[in-house]
Amino acid sequence: MTITLTQNDYGKSRVRLLRVSRQEGRHDIHELTLQILFEGDFETAHTKGDNSKILPTDTMKNTVYALARQYPSEALENFCSHLIEHFLTYNPQISRVRIEAQESLWNRIVLGGKPHPSAFQHGSQEKRTAALNGAREGTTIRSGIADLIVLKTTKSAFEGFLKDPYTTLKEDRDRILSTSIHADWLYESGDVEFSTLWHGIRQTLLETFAEHDSQSLQHTLYAMGEAVLQNFQHAREIRLSLPNKHFNRVDLSPFGMDNPAEVFLPTDEPHGLIEAALRRD
């Protein structure tokens, strides 16, 4: 009987880092969490216990901190690209480096009507994300957003859907629509201003969600992806995952009251999940 090692990778997960950029009269911060995975010539570590080609995962962690000191504070995608270049340059046994990174977003505390230069608050659970896949022939870069919670109270309907004997959902011409935006997009090349594009795409997603006359969450998802691809030529494709966060109108009739769409019960589970990918040909 022959047993073959068909796939393997290893790396370091949950590497956390806070970068502080100090200028006169102003500080900027970036809180990152990274996962780094190596693919390459590591079979003998599994089959023979030979660690001669294994770079310790603790070294990966240390490299993150060392390169953070060597390079100025920069876009998430640029920093991950430096890490990939470093690992591939000094480790010929590595064929591919995959990095998934998240940046937790901080807002400045407002003091006296002005943003404070060095004090911050954690605004929400929203995160900026990046996923880089680097081999010796090139690197693909995806940027994204996670946990960006949005809600609108009008311009949303859900009617004309399929019904069977177990369908109890009522049609609704004017409902609350809420979701937590998870999106990532693939760049045509790595030679772009990542932060400028990220903020522009984020704003386009928000504006489209707010203004779209939605007939379903699927309808709005497509409109959001379409707007990004039409307005940002550097984005070749976009993937969106949108949970449908339900807000059910409370029946106040037992109390002799009406409810003209003013009182709702938020429900987290179960929820619908709408996902799709769009590509510009």
pLDDT in tens, 201-212: 999 999 999 999
What is the structure's pLDDT at 86? 97
Report which secondary-structure segment, H or E, holds 62.
helix 57-70
Structure confidence by residue, pLDDT tens digits, 136-166:
999 999 999 999 999 999 999 999 999 999 9
Q: Which two tokens stand for residue 255?
A: 């109390």
Q: Which residues of 201-235 are buried (b: 16+ CB within 10 A; e: fewer)?
A: bbebbeebbeebebebbbbbbbbbbebbbeebebb
Query: In sequence order, what E strands does the chain have?
Result: 10-23, 26-40, 94-111, 114-135, 138-152, 177-187, 235-249, 264-279
Helices (H), the chain: 43-47, 57-70, 76-90, 194-211, 217-231
Point out the residues of the chain with pLDDT beneath 50.
Answer: none
Name the nearest CA neighbour of 225 among 274, 278, 186: 278
- Cis peptide, bond prior to residue 270, ω within 30 of zero: yes
Fold designation for 148-279: Urate Oxidase (3.10.270)
Number of H helices, E strands in the chain: 5, 8
What is the structure's pLDDT at 264? 87
The ranges assigned to domains in the chain are: 10-136, 148-279
Which residues are annotated as catalytic?
12, 57, 246
What is the structure's pLDDT at 281? 85
What is the structure's pLDDT at 269? 86
Q: Measured between alpha carbons, how far is 89 from 234 in angstroms, rounded to an integer?
A: 27
Q: Which two tokens stand for residue 46?
A: 């599994």
What is the structure's pLDDT at 40? 96
Report which secondary-structure segment, H or E, holds 256.
none
Q: Measured between alpha carbons, how far is 152 from 209 in angstroms, rounded to an integer?
A: 8
User: What does R_g of the chain's alpha carbons equal in angstroms?
Assistant: 23
Q: Measured between alpha carbons, how far is 244 from 182 in angstroms, rounded to an integer?
A: 12
Q: Which two tokens stand for residue 149?
A: 């919670």
What is the structure's pLDDT at 259? 92
Helical pair 76-90 and 194-211, crossing angle rounded to 10 deg = 140
Global pTM reads 0.90
Q: Which amino acid is at 219?
A: H
Fold designation for 10-136: Urate Oxidase (3.10.270)
Name the nearest CA neighbour of 151 among 129, 178, 130, 124: 178
What is the structure's pLDDT at 191? 87
